[in-house]
Amino acid sequence: MGKPPKTEWDNACTQVGACALTGAVGFFAGIPDAAVVVNGPLWCSFYARRHLERQCPSLAERFFCSQADNEAVVYGTEACLTETLRLVRTQCVPAVLLIINNCSVGLIGDDLAGIARQADLPCPAICMDGGGLIGGFWDGYRAAAKAYFSQMPLAKRTLIEPGSVNLLGMSVGYYNAENDRRELQRILALAGYRTLTCPGADNTVRELTDLSRAELNVVVHEELGGELARQLKADYDMPYVSLLPPYGIKDTLSWVNLIGARLQSRPCPVTDLLRQEAERRHREVRTAVADMERIWGDLWFEQAVVAAPGSVAMGLARALRREWADIGALTVVAHDALPAITLPQQADRILDGTGDSKAIQECLSNLAGGLLLGSGSEMAFLRQHRVTGTVCRNIALPVYDEIILDGWPFMGLRGATRWLENLLNGFAAERRKGE
């Protein structure tokens, strides 16, 4: 007989998410004219590239690895890193270059900045030590953003563009992030505001120099962008607001109004265009839901678990309970530890994804017939432990059983109708299985 399945959540996973090196690479991957050199073995660079490439296909063209072998790990990586930097000079012309040691190479103590200076690079080089980045994806992203803006100065804050915002804390390392970014920019444009930059998610080095011209910084994901917002406030006196990302129609309108309240130049409420679209989508949803519920009953789940990075999990939990479904007991699992922004009235229980392994295991084990919004790791647990009848939807990486090719977001007005569609269809499919 085979061995029984593992019964402890932390036997298989103590933290859902990538390493800090991947987070640092993720920030630079979101700068289209930035290149990356991972100084270390191939396996480490493949890990980071695989995590990011589906969301950022262009990364392969500007991603390099020094391929440090066992001898280099012992005696130093200067030779292999210098050769890799020569390839960078001949194969691409980046506006900025990240050179980052992986954990094993970081123990050597090579002078990355000195090696970069001798390589006669055509652009600034930002050097980081992956071995010193303790934590997960979020820690690496924050450290990379801090390093970038410490070395790449912004334009002086003498000209401020009225009604303009920056979206901070968005990343190609989050699931469906590109579609969400486009939707948030569309929503803001309908409200009469202009998105100036999205650091680490869309803009070139040249465009990022104008970041200081925005009237307001809007933090979309606190675990990624909150620290950067505070840094920009201290260095450039830029005001900011940190809000949960908007999922659902109600939360989208509230999100726009809260931003408008902080924009002194244009503190206008939701515009007619935005309100008309919201009302149209609400009517469509109400009709569709009524038809489905006449056949399959109310959209009700006795147990629900929402597991994702803190801001994503709390934002979706709020929309789920406030707008989309009736939930008996709702548990939020924050992959990056306890979220900075919490809404106790929306979640009955909030668990630390980096430490509450037994409690997470217990919640998932009792989720038969319930709802799981999470990653492939939580869904794999359900399959391994034969937890059946659960409606499952992907909201966070890793994702093993789905691709998104149609451009639909999770956030905003378009995301709200798509989410309700997904929930109703999943609910009806599970009810059919039970007949």
Tell me the per-residue pLDDT of 277-330, one tens digit each, with 9 for 90 and over: 999 999 888 888 888 888 888 889 999 999 999 999 999 999 999 999 999 999
Q: Give yes or no: residues 228 and 290 share one domain.
A: no
Residue with tokens 């980071």: 48
Q: End of a domain among 220, 245, 274?
A: 274
Residue type, 221: H
Average pLDDT of span 12-41: 86
**Among 110-114, 252-256, 394-398, which is the least confidently predicted range?**
110-114
> Interhelix angle for 177-190 vs 272-296, to 10°?
130
Q: Give yes or no: residues 95 and 170 share one domain.
A: no
Q: Give yes or no: residues 296 and 427 share one domain.
A: yes
CATH of the domain at 304: 3.40.50.1980
Q: How many domains does the chain have?
A: 3
Contact 49, 59 (CB under 8 A): yes
Does residue 424 fall inside a structural domain? yes
Does residue 295 fall inside a structural domain? yes
Q: Residue 12: its pLDDT value, please?
A: 45
Q: Residue 71: its pLDDT value, please?
A: 76
Token pair of 92 as six digits: 């691409």
Residue type, 389: G
Q: End of a domain among 274, 297, 329?
A: 274
Does residue 210 fall inside a structural domain? yes
Q: End of a domain among 95, 130, 151?
A: 151
Average pLDDT of span 206-215: 96
Q: Give yes or no: residues 317 and 412 share one domain.
A: yes
CA distance 202 to 196: 11
Average pLDDT of the chain, as a whole number: 89
Q: Residue 3: its pLDDT value, please?
A: 45
Does residue 279 fall inside a structural domain? no
Token pair of 119 as six digits: 């390589």
Q: Is the pLDDT of residue 6 over 60?
A: no
Q: Give yes or no: residues 291 and 428 share one domain.
A: yes
Does residue 13 fall inside a structural domain? no
Does residue 1 fall inside a structural domain? no
Token pair of 244 as six digits: 């949960």
Domain that holds residue 142: 20-151
- Please report, for residues 16, 289, 310, 339, 390, the alpha-carbon distance to residue 350 in angstroms, rounded to integers and kept in the order given: 16, 29, 10, 9, 20
Rg of the chain over Cα atoms, rounded to whole angstroms, equals 23
Q: Give yes or no: residues 254 and 379 share one domain.
A: no
Does residue 7 fall inside a structural domain? no
Length of the chain: 435
Q: Is 435 helix (H, G, I), strand (E, B) or coil?
A: coil
Average pLDDT of span 344-351: 82
Higher pLDDT, 302 or 110: 302
Q: Residue 264: its pLDDT value, please?
A: 79
Does residue 15 fall inside a structural domain? no
Sign of CA dihedral 280, 283, 288, 293: positive
96-101 sheet: strands from edge to edge? 63-65, 34-39, 96-101, 125-129
Q: Give yes or no: residues 379 and 297 share one domain.
A: yes
- b/e burial code for range 394-421 (CB count within 10 A of at least 16 → b): bbbbbbeeeebeeebbbbbbbbbbbbbe
Q: Residue 423: its pLDDT value, please?
A: 93
Q: Give yes or no: residues 253 and 385 share one domain.
A: no
Closest CA to 30 of 241, 174, 235: 174
